[in-house]
């Protein structure tokens, strides 16, 4: 048990904040964790399930005296919360966040923070399609990446190192990245795939009129994965697309070009194109598994000798 901070405040008690709380408790990483949720119902639920050592009735009350305040609200709400807590922040405290987009959060939060408060944005690359105070669990961040995005070149090195220690204590592997690069990488690996899943489920829903319940009844594994992802929180994902607009549009443009090329190959019966494309993408997937970077990958075929 290594205590990293004396007081931490979690603002917005949903999936990520509740997972942080249970992971902090598991590791004995913090003296006291305060929490704030916007609705009375969520605060009541948090008290009932023992989420946070103290649940407060305002964000400012939770943040007052904290060594670290973590904003765990949707990306579009970060600026307003920062403005609310700014007057009570302790000199020398660190403010961080867990938002899925980084440049817009820096732009929304940084102007509100007083001199002497360190701002160290972060993003754990771990989640589920569930939300709310009861959805969290201590293991969520185990062996997952957390990207720390220092808000500018002058960010206090000790504040970054202490936040890194907290995320490592919660089980994550930590890397640092520039905000714009983060937003582009996540547009490829997370944001555009979510949009595609939302779209595919929408298409299936349109088709349902033709095929009744067959779309659900006979849905294969690939489509089931799409429906899981498309069940993710609408507020969170609305905000992700509104705030990571440029990177997402860039990746969607490239996606559409590739899709049109495949569509043309199907129409013209160009089997070579399809075969080469699928061979290439299969090699990418195998490369990820062989590099040991997919901890979720099933073991199928791993033991079989490969020519
Ligand atoms: N869910 C994921 O997979 C995932 C993964 C990594 C990061 N994130 C990021 O973490 C943050 C929180 O996501 P989550 O999955 O925990 O969401 P969640 O919906 O489970 O929880 C969000 C909480 O914020 C509160 N909230 C919403 N609007 C608010 C406002 N205007 N003021 C104050 N509180 C408000 C909600 O009531 C809720 O308690 C988001 O910024 C999201 O982008 C999510
Ligand atoms: O596993 C899931 O359900 C997720 O969608 C998690 C996921 C992702 O795309 O990988 C979603 C959003 C985040 O900001 C980080 C992680």
Residues 67 and 210 in one domain: no
Residues 146 and 253 in one domain: no
288: confidence class by pLDDT, cuts 50, 70, 90 = confident
Please give the Cα distance from 32 to 64 (Å, whole number).
12
- Within-domain flag for 298: no
Domain region containing 14: 5-177
The yes-or-no verdict on residue 190 having pLDDT over 90 is yes
Domain with residue 215: its CATH number is 1.10.3660.10
Q: Which atom of ligand 2 is nearest to the CA of 228?
A: 3
Beta pairing class for 5-11 and 30-36: parallel
- Within-domain flag for 271: yes
Question: Minimum-distance ligand to the CA of 109?
Answer: 1
pLDDT digits (tens, 9 = 90+) for 25-38: 999 999 999 999 99
Q: Which atom of ligand 2 is nearest to the CA of 126?
A: 16
Residues 138 and 205 in one domain: no
- Within-domain flag for 145: yes
Looking at the chain, the whole-number percentage of residues with pLDDT higher than 70 is 92
CA of 88 to the centre of ligand 2 (A): 32
The reported pLDDT for the residue numbered 287 is 85
The torsion of the CA quartet 56, 161, 155, 97, rounded to 10 degrees, works out to -30
Q: What are phi and psi of 9, to 5 degrees?
A: -115, 130
Q: Whose CA is nearest to atom 33 of ligand 1?
A: 38
Residues 170 and 201 in one domain: no
- Within-domain flag for 302: no
The reported pLDDT for the residue numbered 127 is 96
* Binding site membership of 12 for ligand 1 (Cβ less than 6 Å): yes
Looking at the chain, the whole-number percentage of residues with pLDDT higher than 90 is 80
307: confidence class by pLDDT, cuts 50, 70, 90 = very low
The reported pLDDT for the residue numbered 301 is 38
Residues 136 and 256 in one domain: no
pLDDT digits (tens, 9 = 90+) for 42-52: 999 999 999 99
* Average confidence (pLDDT) over 247-263: 97
Please give the Cα distance from 84 to 81 (Å, whole number).
5
Q: Which atom of ligand 1 is nearest to the CA of 77?
A: 31
Q: 140, 156, 177 — which closes off a domain?
A: 177
Residues 285 and 234 in one domain: yes
Q: What are phi and psi of 3, to 5 degrees?
A: -80, 125
CA of 129 to the centre of ligand 2 (A): 8
Pocket test for ligand 2, best of 20, 135, 190, 198 (most atoms within 8 A of CB): 190
Q: 177, 196, 211 — which closes off a domain?
A: 177
CB 188, CB 158: distance < 8 Å: no
* Binding site membership of 188 for ligand 2 (Cβ less than 6 Å): no
Residues 200 and 142 in one domain: no
- H helices of 156-244, where? 157-169, 179-186, 192-211, 214-217, 221-229, 234-243
Own/partner pairs, 264-272, CB within 8 angstroms, 24+ separation = none
Residues 163 and 272 in one domain: no
299: confidence class by pLDDT, cuts 50, 70, 90 = very low
- Within-domain flag for 304: no
* Binding site membership of 186 for ligand 1 (Cβ less than 6 Å): no
CB 33, CB 52: distance < 8 Å: yes
* Average confidence (pLDDT) over 187-210: 88
Please give the Cα distance from 277 to 6 (Å, whole number).
53
**ipTM (interface pTM):** 0.97
CA of 36 to the centre of ligand 1 (A): 12
How many structural domains is the chain composed of?
2
Largest CA distance in the chain: 67
* Average confidence (pLDDT) over 97-115: 97
Residues 158 and 261 in one domain: no
CA of 114 to the centre of ligand 2 (A): 32
Please give the Cα distance from 28 to 251 (Å, whole number).
41
- Within-domain flag for 23: yes
Q: How does DSSP classify residue 189? A: I
Domain with residue 49: its CATH number is 3.40.50.720
- Within-domain flag for 306: no
Residues 57 and 168 in one domain: yes
| 3-state SS class at 287 | helix
- Within-domain flag for 301: no
Please give the Cα distance from 246 to 249 (Å, whole number).
5
- 92-131 as b/e: b if 16+ CB within 10 A: ebbbbbbbbbbbbbbebbeebbeeebbbbbbbbbbbeeeb
Please give the Cα distance from 51 to 33 (Å, whole number).
9
CA of 237 to the centre of ligand 1 (A): 10
Residues 165 and 211 in one domain: no
Arithmetic mean of pLDDT over the chain: 92
Q: 177, 208, 240 — which closes off a domain?
A: 177
Q: Whose CA is nearest to atom 11 of ligand 2?
A: 127
């Amino acid at each position: 048990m290594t205590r990293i901070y004396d007081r931490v405040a979690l603002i917005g008690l949903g999936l990520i904040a509740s997972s942080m709380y249970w992971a902090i408790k598991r590791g004995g990483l913090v003296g006291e964790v305060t929490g704030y949720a916007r609705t009375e119902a969520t605060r009541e639920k948090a008290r009932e399930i023992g989420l946070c050592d103290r649940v407060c009735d305002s964000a400012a009350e939770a943040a007052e005296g904290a060594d670290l305040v973590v904003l765990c609200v949707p990306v579009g709400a970060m600026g307003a919360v920062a403005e609310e807590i700014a007057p009570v922040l302790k000199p020398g405290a660190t403010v961080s966040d867990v938002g899925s987009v980084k440049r817009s959060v820096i732009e929304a939060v940084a102007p509100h923070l007083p001199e002497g408060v360190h701002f160290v944005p972060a993003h754990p690359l771990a989640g589920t399609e569930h939300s709310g105070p009861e959805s969290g669990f201590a293991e969520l961040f185990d062996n997952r990446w957390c990207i720390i995005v220092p808000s500018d070149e002058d960010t206090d090195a000790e504040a970054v190192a202490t936040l890194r220690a907290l995320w490592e204590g919660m089980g994550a592997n930590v890397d640092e990245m520039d905000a714009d690069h983060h937003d582009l990488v996540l547009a490829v690996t997370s944001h555009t795939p979510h949009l595609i899943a939302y779209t595919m489920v929408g298409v299936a829903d349109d088709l349902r009129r033709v095929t009744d319940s067959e779309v659900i009844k006979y849905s294969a594994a690939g489509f089931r994965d799409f429906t899981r992802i498309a069940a993710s929180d609408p507020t969170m994902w609305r905000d992700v697309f509104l705030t990571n607009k440029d990177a997402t549009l860039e990746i969607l443009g490239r996606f559409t070009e590739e899709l049109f090329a495949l569509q043309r190959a199907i129409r013209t019966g160009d089997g070579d194109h399809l075969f080469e494309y699928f061979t290439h993408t299969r090699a990418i997937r195998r490369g990820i598994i062989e590099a040991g970077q997919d901890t979720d990958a099933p073991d199928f075929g791993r033991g079989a000798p490969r020519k």
